[in-house]
Structure 1
Amino acid sequence: MILRILALLALAYALGFAAYSVALGKPAPADSRETQAIVVLTGGSGRIEQAVERLEQGKASRLLIAGTDPSVREVDLAERLGGKEKLLECCITLGSESVDTRSNAEEAKAWLEAEGFDEVRLVTSDWHMRRAAFEFRRALGEDTYIVYDAVDTDPGFRTLFVEYNKYVLRRLGLLLGI
């Protein structure tokens, strides 16, 4: 009986991983709703660039870069973005309070509340979007409108496997009250 239960759990895990791997986050449609703000999570290539592009397209009026290393300065970001100093001055906030996805959501929540925003576009990598969306929905609640805008990547097996396990463990931890 125990062997059957373990086999069933292994099968559920494998099927879950397969479903996770083929149903990665997608970029928001071009005609997606505009929001008051954008929050981009650091840690993956193309994320900041896509968020700034959405800001320039008028998809939102403000941008929080959550999880910025405290040593990063606005001048460093201006150099990376190639002459977009005006956006930095008016519209981009560097957030360095968070160190992981859960604290990214908490940092974003505090910033959104301080700014009086209840609509946000979340930008992160396609392979990271499911866990980020889960954490943001938990932190922000149902009253905040969220547009999910994933950055297309080509993740390898290891990236997907690690991220799937983080997602599953986080869900299990909450289920068990940890």
Structure 2
Amino acid sequence: MREEVNGERMLSSGIAMRLARFFLRSVGYVLVTALAAFVGGFLLFYQHVASMKPPADPKADAIVVLTGGYQRVDQGVQLLAKGAATRLLISGVNPATTGNHIRVLTRSSTNLFECCVDIGHEAVDTTGNASETTRWIKAHNFKSVILVTNNYHMPRSLAEIRRADDHSTFIPYPVESDLSLSDIAANPLLLRTLASEYVKFLLVESRDWTGISR
């Protein structure tokens, strides 16, 4: 009787061990597959943003600049001055920064800013930029917009803004950041910035997959 009990225990223990090994192998396979998918997706993301170029002669009803760097604002103001559009929104400006401060920094004319530049102070992130931009577009009844932001920030910005406004046409105008392999090797922080932006982009895209609104 004791031998039968011991045999049953050994059998149960053997089954449990096999199940544990199967579970661990399955989890390991899922983790390796997920990691490979993440790395592969990141490489495609990097290749896409690193190869982005601004259009040669863009034309639209309006221009929107998402703040986050002086080059973005300067490029947006230059496009406006060249006649690429009739009005410019600079979204997400620090409340302490006035339109006159920006005018002085960009060395623009007072007339240009008084007639054609709007300063948005409400947005504090890219989702806020999208909301602020959408309200401005609707208020002016614009149909086409040149979107100015850094190349690595462009995919997420477009995803957020197109999600908020699926009626307007958005023309990406990426401000080129140096993203070559040699630049990343010289400044490893670039890799962290790219990885962070890729994760945020995936989170934005996942809202549509899962139906989560925010």
TM-score, scaled to structure 2: 0.78
The answer on 1:137 being equivalent to 2:162 is: yes
The answer on 1:120 being equivalent to 2:145 is: yes
Q: Which amino acid aligns with 1:150?
A: P
Q: Which runs of 5+ in 1 are unaligned?
A: none
Structure 2 residue matching 1:146: 3-state secondary structure? strand
Q: Which amino acid aligns with 1:14?
A: V
Bigger Cα Rg: 2
Bigger relative contact order, structure 1 or 2 (CA pairs below 8 A, ≥6 apart): 1
Equivalent position to 1:146, from 170, 178, 186: 170
Q: Which amino acid aligns with 2:128?
A: S
Cα separation, 1, equivalents of 2:114 and 2:191: 40
Q: Which runs of 5+ in 2 are unaligned?
A: 1-25, 180-189
Cα separation, 2, equivalents of 1:51 and 1:121: 9
Cα separation, 1, equivalents of 2:108 and 2:44: 41
Equivalent position to 2:105, from 58, 74, 80: 80
1:13-162 equivalences in 2 (<5 Å): 13-24=38-49, 26-32=52-58, 34-141=59-166, 143-155=167-179, 156-162=190-196
Deviation digits for residues 11-38 of structure 1 (CA, Å, limit 9, x no counterpart): 0000011111111073432133x11100
| Greater mean alpha carbon deviation, residues 23-32 or residues 116-125 | 23-32
Structure 2 residue matching 1:134: 3-state secondary structure? helix
Deviation digits for residues 29-53 of structure 1 (CA, Å, limit 9, x no counterpart): 2133x11100000012410011111
Structure 2 residue matching 1:71: 3-state secondary structure? coil
The answer on 1:10 being equivalent to 2:35 is: yes
Q: Which amino acid aligns with 1:35?
A: A
| Cα RMSD for the two superposed structures | 1.5
Give, in angstroms, the shift of residue 107 of structure 1: 0.4
Q: 1:80 to 1:163 in 2, by over 3 A?
A: same
Q: Does the 8 Å contact 1:65/1:92 carry over to 2? A: yes
Give, in angstroms, the shift of residue 158 of structure 1: 1.5
Cα separation, 2, equivalents of 1:6 and 1:42: 37
TM-score, scaled to structure 1: 0.93
| Greater mean alpha carbon deviation, residues 130-139 or residues 78-87 | 78-87
